[in-house]
A and B are shown apart, each in its own frame.
Chain A
Amino acid sequence: MILIFLIAILLLAGILAGISARWSTQLPRWISLAALAVDLVLAGRIWAARSLSAPKLWYDQVDWNWVPNFGIHFHLAIDGLSLLMLILAFFLGIVAVLCSWTEIREKIGFFHFNLMWVLAGIVSVFLAVDLFLFYFAWELMLIPMYFLIVIWGHERRVYAGTKFFLFTQCSGLLMLIAILALYFIHHQTTGVYTFEYSELLGTTLSSRAELAIMLGFFVAFAVKLPVVPLHTWLPDAHTEAPTAGSVILAGLLLKTGGYGLLRFVIPLFPRAAHEFTPAALALGVVGIIYGAVMAFSQTDLKRLVAYTSVSHLGFVLLGIFSWNKLALQGAIMTMICHGLSTGALFVLVGGLQERMHTRDLDRMGGLWTVMPRLSALALFFSLASLGLPGLGDFVGEFLVLLGSYKVSVALTVIATLGILASTFYALRMMQSAFFGPNTNSWQLPDLTRREGLVMAVMVLGLLWLGFYPQPVLNTFAPAMDNLQRAAQMPAAALRRQR
């Protein structure tokens, strides 16, 4: 039942926040903050209880009949993978509320309504194990996100929001067709109509059908992740969204793509995924290099950070399709650490924009002397982003490279060049924004206490993940074993086939 509460609290808080804006401008913020804090505590309790109980498939689940005519269940379940994603979601949710504390001044109630509902959609995505419910949640998180971009975004918000919506919706419908095809094929072979994840695992499919259905799923997740030819919505959406929107987009929405690949694509279609592996790995490497090169050539600071996401998420794709223990651990670490480091960078860029009303790198310069604390933090997070040892991102990307080395040496070498390229864009960003002469003679206030607090927690998080990532890996381990067993393709077999 606790899983229902996790979602219901957010939905309810959204409605309350929307209504309470009539009386006070601060009330919606506090309501949202309280709801997220409660959820974070609840998730922490699941995490604490987990280590005591014997490892089983799900820590907790809720299974209700929803639409019996189609065999649809309202089935939520949580394992280590979902749990990590949930904690990340609630944490970044809190960050999003705090960083929009002064940025959002209009329509505060509706803003927090959308923020809470997009988080509820994301949480449902991470918890759903009925494919219909999963698709339902997948679409549900889209609408509030769209409103966040279109109403509170920057100059080209309508264009960016619409592009985001169309890309996601189109790929989502392809996934819906794939889900339906799987559903009917499963019925033909077993006589049972079901969308249940655990029952659909191991459905016998002809190799052509398996590849087609797998691609349907892959496209949906590839748009979200994003994988390079399908990424064009991302720079626009991230740049035009308000800070909270960018944090949620980069920190969580992209992770739903990686989560989908891990949870559904490979376990449901192991053979087709295996056939597709070379292409997927190549796409991952292309993303790493392309993202880094594009980031290097941006003049819009927010767009630069957006393109680094393309690069980092390339590592996630590389890790997932390498499908061995090290690579998978690396992928999950990269997903979490990218959420923290890029989320923090978006908060900082948002803070800069709130103060300077520009995101143009050419108009910045010499900000270190003006805002030493903000600049130091920017340095910290760009170092994290370029993979400095001792910080979380390094652990993730290093593990991915170790794992992918076993699968393809050549691609791993090229991917390593991506890390090298990341130093260029990170240092260029530092150089042109924070060092050098203050030619525009900016006089700006430094970080407030609220911003400082948010940043401090994220710094500690990255340090913790960098020096002692074992708790995260331990939480993920049983879930990873289950996924690998479901795919029935242990790393050894994969190597032998190569």
Chain B
Amino acid sequence: MNATDTLALLPLLLLAGTVVVVVLGIAVKRSYEVTAGLTLTGLTASFLSVCAVVPPVPRQVGSLLLVDRYALFYLGLIIVSAAAVAVLSYQYFAKHDGQREELYLLLVLATLGCGVLVTSVHFASFLLGLEVLSISLYGMVAYFTGRGQALEAGVKYLILASASAAFLLFGMALIYAATGTMAFSSIQNLSLDRSNLALLLPGIALSITGIGFKLGLVPFHLWTPDVYQGAPAPVAAFVATTSKTAVVALLLRFLAAGTQQSRAVFLVFSAIAIASMFAGNLLALQQDNVKRVLAYSSIAHFGYILVAFLAGTTMAAGAVAFYLVAYTVTILAAFGIVTVLSTSVADAADLEEYCGLFWRRPVLASIFTAVLLSLAGIPVTIGFVGKFYILASGANASSWPLIIVLVLTSVIGLFYYLRIVVTLFSVMPERQSSEQRVELGGAFVLGGLAVLVVWLGVYPAPLLNLIRAMIGALN
């Protein structure tokens, strides 16, 4: 590993360094403010290094990691969303007693895992990244050990994630047996060697199980609503955005070629996509809990992303990237609203608590409305451009059945988003609920996200240019 390698890995090294510094900081003196400050400083430094690393890329470091523009784009997205979660957590956890510092430690560790995932081109780094991410998440999800739901969510996540990791490992072993290599490039010439398919296809199927679990795709979605509901709101935001972004970025590197070459892989993903879109949107109709609605809607949204993924063109890779940005921005803002409305006793998850919010807190309710419309893909929001991009890439690849399903299910989806919007604007209930003040950091993050939702929805050209530059690296 020479100096250039070190420079290329700087973002990851800085994240790892932040973990060590935070551990030592906590060991020396427990201070909530200092820990949060150190975390944010580390994340900021790491983000700045992402911008600085651009010249020496693409750079393959060993056989495990590849730092190219593609990886840097997703690395940037991951670090920014992690930073937003850190800021949102600050106010949220400040209300709670007990030892709150370790949350930041776990957060940076999980971000590091995500960073490894997006740079990995090898099964070893894939598994390493995934486990670092998962193990940190167990702790984060069950952080409030006093809350029954949080414990339940944590244990559920632990058991299911371990099982899916075992499936993934077995799949890797089968692929290794078939190809003799652990590099992702091994599956990219799927069609060349037919004799190995008997081992290779089951191997791919098992790894799809592992990836599908992390993304919460049907039929591996059962953990999603419970974990979203049980986890503290900022942690749920992290699970929904940062961790899923990393896995999608990995999926695109790992299997994009495979879906084009193997009919079986294509069909499996189509079935998963259609099932996710239907199940996510239909199940969300029944929910009265905002966090659960967001969970089911995220299942549907990753179904939409698979539609673009299956198109398999350069345009589709751009659509996936744009949609992930749109989704991250929107979901962070949604959980941000839940976070700032939550009290030290419980999260503001019941739909009832949002009754007439517009007449009490017009700004918060306006942001939430924009967020919901963005999730539903209505114009002037970033979600519309994302959905347009996905539909365009699907139409470009002539995958009409998938597009039609997307349209139909998104109309179903509209129904429950509108239900929340109606609640926000309904007549104010008599009882005055306790008003949570929004602190400076949270207000800054929420305001920034809201501006992004609208600004990129009206003028998406800058982001599209960035994505175009990034896509070049993938091919």
Interface residues of A in 133-163 (CB under 8 A from B): 135-136, 139-140, 142-143, 146-147, 150-151, 158, 161-162
Q: Which of A46-54, A67-75, A259-267, A432-440 lies on the face that meets chain B?
A: A67-75
A180 CB–B CB distance under 8 Å = yes
B407 CB–A CB distance under 8 Å = yes
Interface residues of B in 347-380 (CB under 8 A from A): 359, 373, 378-380
A151 touches B425 (CB 8 A): yes
List residues of chain A with CB within 8 A of the CB of B404.
Answer: 177
Task: Say yes or no: A143-B414 contact (C-beta < 8 A), given A67-B464, A158-B422, A184-B396.
Answer: no
A162 touches B407 (CB 8 A): no
B422 touches A150 (CB 8 A): yes
By beta carbon, the residue of chain A nearest B392 is A180
Cα distance, A68 to B465, chains bound together (Å): 9
Cα distance, A150 to B421, chains bound together (Å): 10
B391 touches A176 (CB 8 A): yes
Residue-by-residue, is B451-475 near A (CB-CB < 8 Å gives 1, otherwise 0)? 0000000011100110010000000
Q: Which of A28-36, A167-175, A365-373, A397-405 lies on the face that meets chain B?
A: A167-175
**Shortest Cβ gap from A285 to chain B (Å):** 30
Task: Say yes or no: A176-B388 contact (C-beta < 8 A), given A136-B379, A139-B378, A151-B425.
Answer: yes
A283 CB–B CB distance under 8 Å = no
B403 CB–A CB distance under 8 Å = yes
Cα distance, A240 to B80, chains bound together (Å): 45
Interface residues of A in 100-159 (CB under 8 A from B): 107, 135-136, 139-140, 142-143, 146-147, 150-151, 158
A166 touches B461 (CB 8 A): no
**Shortest Cβ gap from B136 to chain A (Å):** 37
**Shortest Cβ gap from A212 to chain B (Å):** 9
By beta carbon, the residue of chain B nearest A150 is B422
Number of interface residues of A (CB under 8 A): 31
B415 CB–A CB distance under 8 Å = yes
A201 CB–B CB distance under 8 Å = no
Residue among B380, B395, B407, B465 with the highest chain A CB neighbour number at 10 A: B395
Cα distance, A66 to B391, chains bound together (Å): 19
Number of interface residues of B (CB under 8 A): 29
A447 CB–B CB distance under 8 Å = no
Cα distance, A107 to B427, chains bound together (Å): 11
Cross-interface CB contact of B461 among A67, A139, A165, A174, cutoff 8 Å: A67
List residues of chain B with CB within 8 A of the CB of A205.
Answer: none
By beta carbon, the residue of chain B nearest A182 is B395
B410 CB–A CB distance under 8 Å = yes
B379 touches A139 (CB 8 A): yes
Cross-interface CB contact of A173 among B411, B415, B419, B460, cutoff 8 Å: B411
Cα distance, A19 to B418, chains bound together (Å): 25
Main secondary structure of the interface of B (DSSP, over half): helix
List residues of chain B with CB within 8 A of the CB of A161.
Answer: 418, 422
Cα distance, A140 to B410, chains bound together (Å): 17
Residue-by-residue, is B407-442 near A (CB-CB < 8 Å gives 1, otherwise 0)? 110110011001100100100000000000000000
Cα distance, A136 to B373, chains bound together (Å): 14
B379 touches A166 (CB 8 A): no
A165 touches B418 (CB 8 A): yes
Cα distance, A84 to B230, chains bound together (Å): 57
B392 touches A69 (CB 8 A): no
List residues of chain A with CB within 8 A of the CB of B388.
Answer: 176
B323 CB–A CB distance under 8 Å = no
B378 touches A143 (CB 8 A): yes
A173 touches B425 (CB 8 A): no
A162 touches B418 (CB 8 A): yes
Cα distance, A392 to B422, chains bound together (Å): 40
Cross-interface CB contact of A69 among B403, B407, B465, cutoff 8 Å: B465
Cα distance, A159 to B292, chains bound together (Å): 23
By beta carbon, the residue of chain B nearest A158 is B422
A181 CB–B CB distance under 8 Å = yes
List residues of chain B with CB within 8 A of the CB of A69.
Answer: 461, 464-465, 468
B384 CB–A CB distance under 8 Å = yes
Task: Say yes or no: A177-B411 contact (C-beta < 8 A), given A67-B461, A136-B379, A147-B425.
Answer: no
Residue-by-residue, is B386-410 near A (CB-CB < 8 Å gives 1, otherwise 0)? 0010011001100000011001101
Cα distance, A184 to B397, chains bound together (Å): 10
Task: Say yes or no: A173-B465 contact (C-beta < 8 A), given A143-B373, A150-B425, A162-B415.
Answer: no
Residue-by-residue, is B10-41 near A (CB-CB < 8 Å gives 1, otherwise 0)? 00000000000000000000000000000000
List residues of chain A with CB within 8 A of the CB of B411.
Answer: 166, 169-170, 173
Cα distance, A177 to B460, chains bound together (Å): 20
List residues of chain B with CB within 8 A of the CB of A136.
Answer: 379-380, 384
Cα distance, A181 to B404, chains bound together (Å): 13
**Shortest Cβ gap from B469 to chain A (Å):** 11
List residues of chain B with CB within 8 A of the CB of A166.
Answer: 411, 414-415
Cα distance, A146 to B373, chains bound together (Å): 12
Cα distance, A143 to B464, chains bound together (Å): 26
List residues of chain B with CB within 8 A of the CB of A158.
Answer: 422
By beta carbon, the residue of chain A nearest B385 is A67
A184 touches B395 (CB 8 A): yes
Cα distance, A165 to B419, chains bound together (Å): 12
**Shortest Cβ gap from B132 to chain A (Å):** 36
B418 touches A139 (CB 8 A): no
Cα distance, A150 to B461, chains bound together (Å): 34
**Shortest Cβ gap from A232 to chain B (Å):** 15
List residues of chain B with CB within 8 A of the CB of A151.
Answer: 425
**Shortest Cβ gap from A100 to chain B (Å):** 18
Residue among A68, A70, A147, A151 with the highest chain B CB neighbour number at 10 A: A70
Cα distance, A180 to B392, chains bound together (Å): 6
List residues of chain B with CB within 8 A of the CB of A169.
Answer: 378, 411, 414
By beta carbon, the residue of chain A nearest B377 is A173
B407 touches A67 (CB 8 A): no
Cα distance, A174 to B465, chains bound together (Å): 28
Cα distance, A70 to B463, chains bound together (Å): 13
Task: Say yes or no: A180-B407 contact (C-beta < 8 A), given A136-B379, A147-B425.
Answer: no
List residues of chain A with CB within 8 A of the CB of B379.
Answer: 135-136, 139-140
A139 touches B392 (CB 8 A): no
Cα distance, A445 to B22, chains bound together (Å): 76
Cα distance, A136 to B457, chains bound together (Å): 11
**Shortest Cβ gap from B342 to chain A (Å):** 27
Task: Say yes or no: A140-B380 contact (C-beta < 8 A), given A166-B411, A166-B414, A174-B407.
Answer: yes
List residues of chain B with CB within 8 A of the CB of A176.
Answer: 388, 391
A68 touches B395 (CB 8 A): no
By beta carbon, the residue of chain B nearest A167 is B411
By beta carbon, the residue of chain B nearest A176 is B391
Cα distance, A104 to B315, chains bound together (Å): 49
Cα distance, A176 to B407, chains bound together (Å): 10
Cα distance, A106 to B419, chains bound together (Å): 22
A67 touches B391 (CB 8 A): no
List residues of chain A with CB within 8 A of the CB of B395.
Answer: 177, 180-181, 183-184
Task: Say yes or no: A70-B392 contact (C-beta < 8 A), given A140-B380, A150-B422.
Answer: yes
Cross-interface CB contact of B410 among A67, A146, A173, cutoff 8 Å: A173
List residues of chain A with CB within 8 A of the CB of B415.
Answer: 162, 166
By beta carbon, the residue of chain A nearest B373 is A143
Cross-interface CB contact of A177 among B403, B419, B461, B464, cutoff 8 Å: B403
B460 touches A67 (CB 8 A): yes
Interface residues of A (CB under 8 A from B): 66-70, 107, 135-136, 139-140, 142-143, 146-147, 150-151, 158, 161-162, 165-166, 169-170, 173-174, 176-177, 180-181, 183-184
Closest 7 CB pairs of A and B: A180-B395, A173-B407, A170-B411, A139-B379, A69-B464, A136-B379, A67-B461
Interface residues of B (CB under 8 A from A): 359, 373, 378-380, 384, 388, 391-392, 395-396, 403-404, 407-408, 410-411, 414-415, 418-419, 422, 425, 459-461, 464-465, 468
Extra 14 A-B pairs, beta carbons < 8 Å, given A68-B461, A162-B418, A170-B408:
A67-B461, A69-B464, A69-B468, A70-B464, A140-B379, A140-B380, A150-B422, A162-B419, A165-B418, A166-B411, A166-B414, A170-B407, A181-B395, A184-B392
6 A-B residue pairs with CB within 8 Å: A67-B460, A150-B425, A161-B418, A162-B418, A166-B414, A180-B392
